[in-house]
Amino acid sequence: MAATVPPLSRKRKINWTPYLFLVGPLVLYLVWIIGPMLYTFYLSLTDWDGISPEAKYIGLKNFNLLFGSLGKRVPSAFEYSLFNNLKWLLTFITVPVAIGLGLAVILNQDIKADRYFKMGIFLPQVLSLPVIALIWSFGIYNPKAGLINQILIGLGVANPPGWLADKQLVIWAVILAAAWRQIGYIMILYVAGLKNVDPTLLDAAKVDGANAWRSFWHVTLPLLAPVTTIVVVISIIDSLRSFDLVWVMTKGGPANASSVLAVLMYIQAFNNYKMGEGAASAVILFLISLIFIVVYLSRVMKDELEY
């Protein structure tokens, strides 16, 4: 019996309706994200003051001016901002991550009313950054009525420090306020990751004689590696784009001691009318962020391919 030949399939008609729904968001993304980004790159190569109708092209002079200010006897605003961002970055990938992981491990146990503890720890994440700044500026760091100085006075300290007025302390005071907000978010991510840890693996480790610490270090922590990657990258990005908290609490002062690149960008562009230098600061911040974003995406793509 001769085999029947299937009829030639007709050319499939493309349904363009779903693509039409993407036109609106794509146009908005191009207008509000890609367009301003490219325009910022262009402005960084000019000496535009933000008012003049024309912008003179000066090449890389803005970047040379910023990086040429490094290492001077008196630190420049750019030097303060760059190294303060580095302090934010190193602090955010260590302290909040470690505390958030510890709280997640504790609250993952069978504890009564654990949901209320989680809610209380996560609550600062719900508040906006300007609100966090006001709480810490007036409720915690106020020289006379602030919580910290009231405790120090109660302990017998005659002259407690002015946390937001001391050049050596101010950046750490601002970072502490930001880290307090970040801890709850990291805790929730780790709690979600711990729910996916197979309990039979922990039981097997216990049968093999591993104590709680060894089980956590050799079983739980490696299984949390994907969550840790997300947590670290999010923490890095949040540390590099810090602006609201610094601006409301100190505006980069005193004497640029708490300034970060985002604050420097704003001051240069809108206070000093040096739009070119401000754009150059924005480009530097963008490139630093891009490095970590590329590392994160390459890691995610690698894990997806292995899976």
Q: What is the pLDDT confidence band of residue 211, given thresholds at 50, 70 and 90? A: confident
Q: Of 293, 248, 242, 234, which is closest to residue 265 (Cα–Cα)?
A: 242
Q: Categorize the per-residue pLDDT at 195 as very low, low, confident or very high, splitting at 50, 70 and 90.
A: confident
Please check whether residue 296 lies inside any domain of the structure. yes
**Would you say residue 32 lies in a domain?**
yes
Asked whether the predicted pLDDT for residue 217 surpasses 80, the reply is: yes
User: How many separate domains does the chain show?
Assistant: 1
Q: What's 61's domain CATH number?
A: 1.10.3720.10
The more confident residue out of 226 and 138 is 138
Q: Which helix (H) or strand (E) holds 41?
A: helix 35-43
Q: Is residue 96 one of the residues assigned to a domain?
A: yes
Residue 60 near residue 283 (C-beta atoms within 8 A) = no
- 175 with 245: CB under 8 angstroms? no
Structural domain of residue 178, as residue ranges?
Answer: 27-306
Within a domain: 71? yes
pTM, 2 dp = 0.84
Q: Is 12 a domain residue?
A: no
Question: What does the pLDDT look like over 143-159, one tens digit per residue?
Answer: 888 999 999 999 988 88
> Is 22 a member of any domain?
no
Q: What is the pLDDT of residues 13-24, one digit of tens each?
A: 788 888 888 899
Cα angle 10, 12, 16 (rounded to 5 degrees) comes to 155
Q: Which has the closest alpha carbon to 125: 205, 188, 80?
A: 188
pLDDT at 307: 57
Share of the chain above pLDDT 70, in %: 93
- Name the 3-class secondary structure at 179: helix
Would you say residue 211 lies in a domain? yes
- State residue 292's pLDDT score: 75
Query: Per the domain annotation, does 252 fall within a domain?
Result: yes
